Every structure is written in structure tokens, then in C-alpha cells.
Amino acid sequence: MKIPLSNLSFSLLNEDIDISAFRCGEPDLTEFLIEDALENQAARLSVTRIVLHEGQVVGFFTLTNDCIIRKSVSDDDGEEWYPYPHYPALKIARLATHQEFEGRGIGRAMLLKTVAIAMRLSQYVGCRMITVDAKPKSEGFYLKYGFQKALTNKKKDTIPLYRDFYRSYQEAEKGMSL
């Protein structure tokens, strides 16, 4: 059964949150959360947010700065007149749902929160895209939520995806005015 967004809370990872019981289907993601996330956050390399439901950690996502090569972006995205070789982006460095809560809307909630963060960030610094290097078995999840494959791919073990969140915002705004 889906968990309503209103029943989830999001907070920055800190030493007071017990993450020791978190387990997801990707052991390297669990290991990152438990062993590396706080250290990376303290070093200002990434920021991790925890998703809680009834006091239990049900998911987490980690964000960092990124850019995407302009040639990797579809002609329908970005801006034709933009003169630089890269678009500024916010990268989803890690995103995982506790294995007991998969399929209950936690991943979707984390993506919604990421888009909200990107929109807020873009009011202070240039940020147009959200990027993720998806594991092959996670590709469908991101494609379902509007991400597209980057047009150039030099990676072998992950699939670079992006979403022009500002374009989506513009399209939604036009739709609302009808």
C-alpha cells in the first residue's frame, strides 16, 4: 500500500538519526549511508537527506553539484541560445528505499523532494538539470518520472540520465494557464 507524502518526513542526515537498521537491495548503497554519508557531508562533498515514516528510516537520497555536457541533452531540452559547453545540474548521487518499503511511493517522494530542492537552488545559482547515473535495474524507475538518457554515454556500469526540470516547470505553468 502506498504511503502518502504527508506521512513522510525529510531531514538532513545527522549523528542523532539511527541509520544502522537501514537495508536496501543494493548493499553498496546501504554501506554508503552507514559508513560514508556523514563524512562526505562534513567535508561538503554531498548532502544526504533521510526519509522517515513513523520514526523508521525508509529511504535516503544524496545530492551533489554536477554539470551535463550540452551535446548530451536533447534539442527539446535546454536553451538553443545557451553559449556554454555544459549545463549546470544537481546530481542525485545516491537514492535508495528500505527493502521493506519498496513499491510504496518512497522513491517517487524522494524525486519530488529533489525537484523542489533543484527549483529552490535555481533561485540562487544556475541549475537547470537534474542528473543521475542510474544502475541498469533502476533505469526504468527514472524514465517513468521523466528522465531521459543522455545522448552521449562513456560509462559502462551505469546509465547517465537527466531531466530538464525547468522545462517541465515551464510546460506545467503553461498547462495551468489554460
Q: What are the tens digits of pLDDT across the range 86-131?
A: 999 999 999 999 999 999 999 999 999 999 999 999 999 999 999 9
Q: What are the tens digits of pLDDT across the range 131-167?
A: 999 999 999 999 999 999 999 877 678 999 999 988 8
**Rounded CA gap, 6 and 108, in Å?**
13
- Does residue 90 contact residue 62 with C-beta atoms inside 8 Å? no
Q: Pick the residue with more confidence: 178 or 46?
A: 46
**Rounded CA gap, 149 and 94, in Å?**
18
Domains and CATH numbers, the chain: 5-176 (3.40.630.30)
**Rounded CA gap, 150 and 147, in Å?**
9
Is residue 178's pLDDT more than 50?
Answer: no
Q: CA of 96: how far to CAs of 42, 61, 62, 120, 147, in Å?
A: 21, 6, 9, 23, 17
Q: What are the tens digits of pLDDT across the range 53-62?
A: 999 999 999 9
Q: How many helices (H) and strands (E) does the chain have?
A: 5, 7
Residue 168 banded pLDDT, cuts 50, 70, 90: confident
